[in-house]
Amino acid sequence: MDVSVVVLTWEDFERTQGCVRSLPDGVEVVVVDNGSAEAIGDKLRAMCAETGAAYVRSPVNLGYAKGMNLGVRHTTRSVVVLSNNDIVVHPGAVELLAARAADPAVGAAFPGVRGADGSDQTAAGRFLTIPVGLAHATGLSLLLRGLRIVATPERGDWLSGPFVAIRRSTLDDIGGVDESSFFYSEDLRLCWAVRRRGLRLAYVPEAVVTHEDDASAKRRWSGAEIARRQTREFVRASRELAGWRGRIAGGAYALGALVRAAASRGEVRRAVARGALEGMRAP
């Protein structure tokens, strides 16, 4: 199979092993150990030797994008799958995604994502344009579904990418995974870069993976802290990618987040508001 799978892991042997062993025979597997402790690294190295996966170690945690790009440099096949380590791949998923990614009109192919309970966890959204930002700020998004931040996978401008297939030539053309962020917003940036080249995103719901959402992040941060960081990187990416339009849209989004935080006084709402303000100020 002309597919390489890069599995990025940090301080997590069990989930990484489950991911690697769920992959189909014939794929090239590259496990990137993103600065794990020596004992975990030893386990990962042994597992890779047993399964035939390549083991690539960074002495420090490079973050998501740099870690993935490190792994991609060790791949040799024409389609690359970028995979979180907390993924279990269902039979046939890789083959289906690779077939769609091979289409010259497709920039990236995304699976149907399921939670551990079998529920649909596929996430998608709109790019933060001026109309979307203003609709969020004014509450019009409650009435106009097409201007909501969240979208269905079939209509999303971007899809969440815990497991995404992309041609190596396309990945090289866009300069790899955008390294502007240490963690979060990489999928939005990837989809932006792909669409800027006139390519479309393929949602392949029959290609199914199970994902334990934010497994690594939840070992470090609370739900509110995750929300703050996600929002900061979403606004920062939107501001950077869209120029002055992104700055206006980001400002409108931040205003809406502040209004919602003042109205609800919930911890997560306050964290989202802080993240939006940080995203507008971040270099």
Question: Is the pLDDT at 93 greater than 70, yes or no?
Answer: yes
Residue pair 188/234 in contact (Cβ under 8 Å)? The answer is yes
DSSP output for 93-148 = HHHHHHHHHTSTTEEEEEEEEE-TTS-B---EE----HHHHHHHHHTGGGT-GGG-
What is the pLDDT, as a whole number, of residue 131? 95
Longest Cα separation, the chain? 56
| pLDDT tens per residue across span 73-84 | 999 999 999 999
141-176 pLDDT, tens per residue? 888 888 999 999 999 999 998 999 999 999 999 999
- Helices (runs of H) and strands (runs of E) counted in the chain: 11, 10
**Percentage above 90 pLDDT, the chain:** 85
What's the confidence (pLDDT) of residue 216?
56
